[in-house]
Amino acid sequence: MGSIVKAIVSGIVSFAATNLDDIIILMVFFSQVNPNFRRRHIIIGQYLGFSAVIIASLPGFFGGLIIPTPWIGLLGLVPIAIGISRLVNLNRDENAVQTVSEELHSSGGRFASVLAPQTYQVAAVTFANGGDNIGIYVPLFASSNLVRLSIILSVFFVLVSVWCYVAYQLTLHPVVARFLTRYGHAIVPFILIGLGIFILIDSGSYSLISLIF
C-alpha cells in the first residue's frame, strides 16, 4: 500500500511541477472558445499532445529494465539541474510564458484557417511546451517498475482532465489567474529540485554520489 501511495504522490507532484505553464496556455485557449473553436478541441488536443510527451519519455522506463536502479536514479540530477536553471533564469521564464500567451491570444481568430482540425494546434502547442516534461519524466519512469509506472500514468491522465477544468475555471476568476501567472514560476523550481532529490533517495542513488565524491 505504501508503494502505491508513493507512486500516486510522485505522479501528482511531477505532473504539477511540469505542467504549471500549461495551465496558463490552456487559459488562453479557453478564452478563445467560439463556434469554430470549442472546448472539446482543447481537451482532446491536450490529451493528444500530452500522450506524445509520454511516448517520448518511455525510453527511460525501458532503459530502467536493463540498467541497475541506483545508476538510473542518477537521472534525478536532471530535474535538480532544471530547477536550478529555472531559478537562475526566473525572469526569462516568466517573459517566455507571457510571450507565448500573447502570441496565442493574437492568433485566436485564425484557428480555423491556419490548422484544421483545431485540435491539432492545441496538441502541437502542448507537445512543444513539453520539453522540460520529458527531462523530468525520463528519470521518473526509469526508476519505476511496471506497476508503479502504470499508477503514475493513470494519475497523469486523470490530472490532464483536472488541469483542463482548473484552467477553464480560472478564466472565470481573473484575480486567481493573475496570482498564478505572477508567482507560479517562483514555486516550480523548488518543486523540481525536491522531485530530483526524491528520485535520488528513492532509487538509492545517493550512495553512489557519496562514493563518487
Residues 6+ apart with CB under 8 A from 16: 159, 191
Looking up cell 489567474, which residue turns up?
177
How does pLDDT run across 7-57, given as a tens digit for each residue? Answer: 899 899 889 888 877 787 788 778 777 777 788 888 888 999 899 889 988
What pTM does this model have? 0.66
C-beta of residue 139 within 8 angstroms of C-beta of residue 71: no
Q: Which of 14-28, 89-103, 113-127 has the highest mean predicted lDDT (pLDDT)?
A: 14-28
Closest CA to 127 of 36, 52, 31: 52
User: Is residue 144 left, alpha or beta, with left meaning phi > 0 and alpha meaning psi from -120 to 50?
Assistant: beta
> Please, where are the H alpha helices in the chain?
2-18, 20-31, 39-57, 59-64, 69-73, 77-88, 90-106, 111-114, 119-128, 131-142, 146-170, 174-202, 205-212
Assign 172 a pLDDT band (cuts: 50, 70, 90): confident
Higher-confidence residue of 51 and 122: namely: 51
Q: What is the pLDDT of residue 213?
A: 55
Residue type, 202: D
Q: What is the pLDDT of residues 174-197, one digit of tens each?
A: 776 666 666 666 776 776 677 678
Phi/psi at 97 (nearest 5 deg)? -65, -40
- The confidence score (pLDDT) of residue 209 equals 61
3-state SS, residue 211: helix
Q: What is the pLDDT of residue 117?
A: 57
Task: Please give the average per-residue pLDDT across 127-146, as a whole number.
Answer: 80
Distance (Å, whole) CA 12 – CA 87: 22
58-90 pLDDT tens trace? 887 776 556 666 666 676 676 678 678 878 876
The answer, yes or no, to whether the previous bond of 174 is cis (omega within 30 of 0) is no
Phi, psi of 115 (to 5 degrees): -130, 135
Q: Helix 174-202 and helix 2-18: axis angle, to 10°?
A: 130
What is the pLDDT at residue 160? 95
Percent of the chain with pLDDT strictly greater than 70: 62
Three cell numbers written together for 133: 516534461
